[in-house]
Amino acid sequence: MAGYGFAPAIGIDLGTTYCCVGVWLNDQVEIIPNDQGNRTMPSCVSFTDEGRVIGEAAKNKLGSDPLSTIYGLNVLQIINEPTSAAIAYGLDMSTNITRDTNVLVFDLGGGTFDVSLVTIDKKGIFKVKAVAGDTNLDEAVAYGASVLAAKLSGNTSLQVNKIHVIDVIPLSLGVNVSDGSLSVIVKGNTPKPTTKERGYVTSEDNQQIINFDVYQGERFRSIDNNWLGNFQVPVPRAPKGKSAVKVVFNIDVNGILNCSGEEVTTGLKTKLDIVRH
């Protein structure tokens, strides 16, 4: 568009192998084809002396010039891929909903399979009850992301504005404890944003720090889950079980995890931010 007019927000399914882009135009989602007419393209960017190439052209340069990068984006919000697919499905049927309706959405990717259970009410509120599987897909994901992008960028379309999304955390989050098990602080499928806390005590006499390894997953043993990071909280010397630390997990609407641990008596505090989980 010319001048400084309104620039529409786009929805992107940025996959590990292929990506797809959509935009809300004329009260519907349009999937944007690339210069070769393809509605999906390889998730590749290559920088050469002549300039930047993307998609198929960049993929063809992987053998001769493997260096690449990702363009900077103004990210409005991050949602789970099954949730985005649910928006794509629910937008078309939301006008026919007269009561709370549970919808099971299957998101079948090239090598992945996701399922999301969504409740859609007559006001157009999408409440994700649960998600499971590997998170991936192309057009349906881009379609749903485009609808949400239009809403977040201020689009006034009635179809867009009636949608309200309540997303969830796909997997449980917790810390490793002395017996090697995962102590869950935030359970999987908890609506986000959310803040949860749990208390821990020293396991040895005269312990000076409590070490917290953060994991994501549903397995009993910590090491069988996904390790996300580590933080340590200083504690005063005392008999075991006497020094206590309050651990707080804060997860924002984009799923960014902020961990903090505070020794109860001294107020000594440590923080850890985990951008992606």
Is 36 in the same domain as 162?
yes
φ, ψ of residue 200 to 5 degrees: the values are: -135, 150
Is 22 in the same domain as 157?
yes
* CA–CA dist 45, 151 (Å, integer): 28
Q: 2 lies in a domain?
A: no
Maximum mean pLDDT: which of 153-157, 160-164, 202-206: 202-206
The residue segments making up the domain with residue 70 are: 10-166
Q: What is the pLDDT of residue 213?
A: 95
Residue 200's CATH number: 2.60.34.10
Q: What's the pLDDT tens digit per position in 165-193?
A: 778 888 999 999 999 999 999 999 898 89
How many structural domains is the chain composed of? 2
* CA–CA dist 171, 152 (Å, integer): 26
Q: Is the whole-model pTM more than 0.75?
A: no
Q: What's the pLDDT tens digit per position in 18-61?
A: 788 888 888 888 888 887 888 888 877 777 777 777 777 777 77
Interior/surface letters 170-197, b for 16+ CB within 10 angstroms, e for the rest: bbbbbbbeeeeebbbbbebbbebeeebe
Q: Which residues pair with 164 in a beta bridge?
A: 125
Q: 3 lies in a domain?
A: no
Q: What's the pLDDT tens digit per position in 241-261?
A: 999 999 999 999 888 899 999
Task: Using pLDDT thresholds of 50, 70 and 90, give the confidence band for residue 107.
Answer: low
Is 196 in the same domain as 214?
yes
